Structure 1
Amino acid sequence: MSQTKLDHRPEKSGRINLDPQGAEQGLAQLVLTVIELLRQLVERQAIRRVDGGTLTEEEIERLGVALMNLEVKMDELKEIFELQDEDLNIDLGPLGNLL
């Protein structure tokens, strides 16, 4: 009797896959999508503050290091859960894509 390997990767349709067999994968996709959205918002705000001249050189350096560390951690998590950048850009129907 042969065993069939189940594929728990999210669907490539841009929709979250929360079926019982792939619940962990779907939840990871959802959580990483929210984190990526927040990371992009923080990055945009940081750029505005740097451009506005409201940060010291030390604050700019710390902010840059923190954003780079977050990006590295996101890459690690995407690798663990076998996700790609496009997997985090979920389809919101008539509103378009999230990211």
Structure 2
Amino acid sequence: MQPVNQSNGKINLDPENAEHGLAQLVLTVIELLRQIVERHAIRRVEGGTLTDEQIENLGEALMNLEEKMEELKELFGLNDEDLNINLGPLGNLL
């Protein structure tokens, strides 16, 4: 059984797939935080409060984080849709 019900995007924590479901949940939270940090970084860059070196370091850090997320998604057999958990009336998480 898959940890995510593809028809509604909800997490299904099947005891036999608990590791996969937990990985899905953790990676979803990390992806949410990554997107928040990225948006904040863009605002700071556009606001002109960073030096060229800080902008370069920030860009490199964000690229490294995105690369690591891709590696982890591949390791656990997840894709972007798997991390977009349905929150019911609130809509999708990502």
Q: TM-score range by the shorter chain?
A: over 0.9
Q: Using the TM superposition, name which of 10-19 and 77-86 deviates more.
A: 10-19
Secondary structure of the equivalent of 2:4? Answer: coil
Secondary structure of the equivalent of 1:70? Answer: helix
CA-CA distance at 1:10 after TM superposition: 3.4
CA RMSD of aligned residues (A): 1.1
Residue correspondence of structure 1 range 5-84 to structure 2 within 5 A = 7-8=1-2, 10-12=4-6, 13-84=8-79
Which runs of no fewer than 5 residues in structure 1 stay unpaired? Answer: 1-6
Provide the identity percentage: 74
Which runs of no fewer than 5 residues in structure 2 stay unpaired? Answer: none
Give the partner amino acid of 2:39. Answer: R
How does the TM-score come out when normalised to structure 2?
0.94
Matched, 1:89 2:84: yes
TM-superposition CA deviations, 1:6-38 (whole Å, max 9, x none): x55533231112110110010000000000000
Report runs of 4+ in structure 1 exceeding 4 Å deviation: none
Is this contact kept in 2: 1:10–1:25, CA < 8 A? no
Secondary structure of the equivalent of 2:45? Answer: helix
Is this contact kept in 2: 1:9–1:82, CA < 8 A? no
How does the TM-score come out when normalised to structure 1?
0.89
Secondary structure of the equivalent of 2:55? Answer: helix
What is the CA–CA distance in structure 2 between the aligned matches of 1:62 and 1:39, rounded to whole Å? 16
